[in-house]
Amino acid sequence: MKKVAISQSNYIPWKGYFDLISTVDIFVIYDIVQYTKDDWRNRNKIITYNGVKWVTIPTEKKDCLNKKINEIKISKRDWYVNHLNQIKESYRKAPFYEEVINWLENIYFECKEYIYLSQVNKHFILAINEVLEIVTKIIDSENFEVGNERNQRLIDICLALDATNYVSGPAAKKYLDEYLFNSNGLVVEWMNYEGYPKYPQLSDAFEPAVSIIDLLFNVGLKEAKFYIKKAF
């Protein structure tokens, strides 16, 4: 059995994104599809003293809706400084602030020369995988020859990887043709993002759908892996 998941890259994703990665043998970063504005590609949520706020990587807006995700360029070279300042201000009272901010600063500084959004997203995904001890192989979708139809593109990638099972997030139920996957010898499995344990946060009401860095600041780099579903 070989399980494959295929998903667009997100900026400092939430814990469910890493659960999906940890569930499969190969995870394909699917950035050869159209970029969408006001989505998770270039932004995510953190918890601040004024509630949940977005941190957003500024990207070039000209013709952005006619470009693929991996063609989107970052518009301000010093974006990472602003993000670090926001994160420092928001989490300076978190239990594991010193440990996590030292680790996080290095990641941000390593991103400062990147031109494309996809480069930044992948860099964070790989760094966080390492902390969570996720050993899934990560592959870029540019490595595959695929067709134009939405379902067939995913099937083409799965077949090229000799996959037996395709693991998808539940949002894809709106368009995924499960019969077509099955007829190509692929079993479709659906992720279930319910049932995560709560952890201490710097907020009165627990906020589950925030960047995983919130988890890291509050439980530490060593303990974070135990809050991923695969661990319980």
Tens digits of pLDDT across the chain (232 residues): 999 999 999 999 999 999 999 999 999 999 999 999 889 999 999 999 999 999 999 999 888 889 999 999 999 999 999 999 999 999 999 999 999 999 999 999 999 999 999 999 999 999 999 999 999 999 999 999 888 899 999 999 999 999 999 999 999 999 999 999 999 999 999 999 998 999 999 998 999 999 999 999 999 999 999 998 875 5
Contact yes or no for 169/24 (Cβ under 8 A) = no
pTM of the predicted structure, to 2 decimals: 0.96
Contact yes or no for 21/222 (Cβ under 8 A) = no
Rounded Cα distance between 29 and 76, Å, is 24
Neighbours of 204 (CB within 10 A): 7
- Bridge partners (DSSP) of residue 59 are 74
Tens of pLDDT, residues 59-112? 998 888 899 999 999 999 999 999 999 999 999 999 999 999 999 999 999 999
* Predicted local confidence at residue 39, as pLDDT: 94
> From the DSSP assignment, how many helices (H) and strands (E) are in the chain?
7, 7
> For the packed helices 79-91 and 97-111, what is the interaxial angle rounded to 10 degrees?
170
- As a dihedral over the C-alpha atoms of residue 90, residue 108, residue 144, residue 162, rounded to 10 degrees, the angle is -70
Total structural domains within the chain: 1
Rounded Cα distance between 143 and 155, Å, is 14
Under DSSP, the state recorded for 72 is P
Q: In the 3-class helix/strand/coil scheme, how is 165-202 assigned residue by residue? A: EEEECHHHHHCCCHHHHHHCCCEEEECCCCCCCCCCCC
Q: Note the helical H segments in 4-78.
A: 15-23
Domain containing 25 equals 3-231
Residue at token pair 């928001």 = 90
For the chain, the average pLDDT equals 95
φ and ψ at residue 226, rounded to 5 degrees: -80, -5
Rounded Cα distance between 75 and 57, Å, is 8
